[in-house]
Amino acid sequence: DTEVTQTPKHLVMGMTNKKSLKCEQHMGHRAMYWYKQKAKKPPELMFVYSYEKLSINESVPSRFSPECPNSSLLNLHLHALQPEDSALYLCASSQVRGALAKNIQYFGAGTRLSVL
């Protein structure tokens, strides 16, 4: 099973709402990632969890709050977002280390977020 599952697929929220994005994988990967992708742009790294600990935060505003409850799950809590935060949010997972052939990230299909 090489699947990364993201829910919901689409989300519309107002600037005062609180919502969460969810990501799940069962490949035994101990690294999980959140990316933000605007239209016609490459994915931009937001957060990295390694062994369930936050290891990289790419200076993301605090209105985005990641959480890794266990090795299979990754959440992104959203609060007081701005319209410019509208984007495709991608989750990915990978091995933390190992043979080079395993340095591959597996991506979910993403959550299309619209902030009104």
Among the listed residues 44, 4, 7, the one whose alpha carbon sits nearest the alpha carbon of residue 25: 4
In order of 13, 33, 49, 85, 116, the CA distances from 45 in angstroms are: 22, 7, 12, 14, 24
Cβ 15 to another protein shortest distance, Å = 24
> From the list 11, 21, 46, 48, which residue makes contact with another protein (rule: CB under 8 A)?
48
b/e per residue 24-46 (b: at least 16 CB within 10 A): bbeeebbbbbbbbeeeeeebebb
Cβ 18 to another protein shortest distance, Å = 25
Contact map string, positions 53 to 82, toward another protein, x by CB under 8 A: --xx--------------------------
Contact map string, positions 77 to 106, toward another protein, x by CB under 8 A: -----------x-x-x-xxx---xx-xxxx
The label of the residue with tokens 């979910």 reads 108
- Which 3 state secondary structure label does DSSP give 16? coil
Q: Give the binding range for another protein (CB under 8 A) out of 12-20, 42-50, 64-72, 75-83.
A: 42-50
Q: Which residues bind another protein (CB under 8 A)?
A: 4, 6, 31, 40-43, 45, 48, 50, 55-56, 88, 90, 92, 94-96, 100-101, 103-110, 112
